[in-house]
Structure 1
């Protein structure tokens, strides 16, 4: 059962595209926005590819519930889980997706490196990242009453999925086990071997003791989805945002352009599309038509792209919410 698909990432993409194209952005800001945009697009594609293989494998299963793109906030900790699959025997698989165009190197210490030609970049361990998510989940599961029958906590198995065309260079298995780092299209084979390893005599007894109904798995999944908190739009790093303040002289509006804040709109007032003549001189200017404050180019561009909603004027984020 596929219970949740990935969220729409269009707002995040649009925000970064606007920063990268903003003529008032510095070269450093544009580079940061372009790099972030590339990483976001790569991540979206990697998660989409992995979801395809997982959905194909589990879509007709009566024993599994699949959740994609789950973000949880628990006691100040955040867990951004790419994919999660509950199974009826009292456990779940947690997946981290990594989309590399080059090679993935793992050494005997469990250190991960992405290799593009002769260039190498050290990257955080996705296995450790998934284990941090496990700690957040244990807190939330206890609160929501999600657990196995014969033990306090569910079994959690951590997997890293990489692009089918990536090359994985592994250390000897005895030095550091990488059996849970696999290519996305190899998951069905991994799953079959996992079942073989865990369904011996003791495994079968444990399975029967902890077996849950499909309805229970669905209930667990729905509880978690209600806890989903989509990520807010990001802020530019402080060291880059500060350059905007120092590099540009803020434009102080002329006294005639500072308008008194109007009273809260009522149902009898004209819609925002009916532009009053006394504000027409503010059209296409980076000045909020409500409070007279200078606004950013992305704020203005958003309003110009929604001309019918804002009547051809532009507003700061605070006053965009009035319409």
Structure 2
């Protein structure tokens, strides 16, 4: 059962492309173009992984699917690409990564990506996902989200996998030197999970049978978790140090822009906000941001 799809990033991409029409320095223009590529590649990678996840689990009566969950706890943040939860409360935390020219993992567990006949060191996605799982476990515990059976709180099991594009190459060290079994191609996820379940011992299976829950129980837990989703709202003008004025910086010489997301708005949108000062506090917003302020 699919509980949450990824958040749309179309508004961010639209605004970033719009910024390229402004009077910018070469450094600003280059940074914005780079940000657009990062966003586009990230979305393509997440969508590719989501396709395989949804293909096998979206309509399952034994699994819950969550995409793109951002949680904040005590000043720390986890941006989790995908979560799978089954009726045993096994929670699979999945990180999708884009490595266009492939990835190499050294004997010491260091990660390198290939780019123009060079290898460049990158942070370990394995360690990154471990931090995500730690924050997720702490978050679930802090908000007491887990159901109880006979008064005893259920103890979930967490599993970590890094999903790589099926078209990418992976150069691995010998398993005895460093275990890379959690680095998998996205299209093999279902087969690997099935194999993992098949390898469980009789005693483990009996234990899991005793903690089996209904799909409704898992759904309630998942919806509680998703209710804490905290999407990030980036001020791209501030990030790229773009000073905005009403008449000079705007290439189309429009007089109005949204006070929240800074995109251009029509005179009609602006006057609607100004005529409803009790809601919008005298500021003008686009239609999407107007809906946000009406709810809050």
State if a TM-score over 0.5 links the two structures: yes
C-alpha separation between the residues in 1 aligned to 2:62 and 2:228?
23
Q: Which runs of 4+ in 1 moved over 3 A?
A: 147-153, 234-238, 250-253, 284-289
SS state of the match for residue 44, structure 2? helix
Report the counterpart of residue 169 of structure 2 in structure 1.
167
TM-score normalised over the length of structure 2 = 0.81
1:1-323 aligned within 5 A: 1-19=1-19, 21-142=20-141, 143-146=143-146, 153-197=155-199, 199-235=200-236, 241=241, 285=253, 299=262, 302-303=264-265, 306-310=266-270, 319-321=283-285
C-alpha separation between the residues in 1 aligned to 2:147 and 2:127?
23
Structure 1: runs of 5+ lacking an equivalent:
254-283, 290-294, 312-316
Report the counterpart of residue 292 of structure 1 in structure 2.
none
The Cα of 1:286 is off from its aligned counterpart by 6.7
SS state of the match for residue 222, structure 1? helix
The Cα of 1:191 is off from its aligned counterpart by 1.3
User: What are the superposed Cα offsets for residues 170-206 of structure 1, whole Å, 9 maximum, x if unpaired?
Assistant: 1111111111111111112211211122x21121122
1:154/1:43 Cα in 2 relative to 1: closer, same or farther (>3 Å)? same
Structure 2: runs of 5+ lacking an equivalent:
272-280, 291-296
Between Structure 1 and Structure 2, how many residues are aligned?
A: 269
SS state of the match for residue 264, structure 2? helix
Q: Decide whether the 8 Å contact of 1:147 with 1:154 is kept in 2.
A: no
SS state of the match for residue 94, structure 1? strand
1:111/1:202 Cα in 2 relative to 1: closer, same or farther (>3 Å)? same
The Cα of 1:60 is off from its aligned counterpart by 3.4
C-alpha separation between the residues in 2 aligned to 1:180 and 1:318?
52
1:148/1:169 Cα in 2 relative to 1: closer, same or farther (>3 Å)? farther
SS state of the match for residue 11, structure 1? helix
C-alpha RMSD of matched pairs (Å): 2.9
SS state of the match for residue 144, structure 1? coil
Q: Decide whether the 8 Å contact of 2:254 with 2:264 is kept in 1.
A: no
Q: Decide whether the 8 Å contact of 1:65 with 1:217 is kept in 2.
A: yes
Q: Decide whether the 8 Å contact of 1:90 with 1:148 is kept in 2.
A: no
Q: Decide whether the 8 Å contact of 1:81 with 1:133 is kept in 2.
A: yes
User: What are the superposed Cα offsets for residues 126-185 of structure 1, whole Å, 9 maximum, x if unpaired?
Assistant: 111111111211222111332686776421111000111000011111111111111111
1:81/1:147 Cα in 2 relative to 1: closer, same or farther (>3 Å)? farther
TM-score normalised over the length of structure 1 = 0.75
Larger radius of gyration: 1
C-alpha separation between the residues in 1 aligned to 2:11 and 2:154?
40
Report the counterpart of residue 277 of structure 2 in structure 1.
none
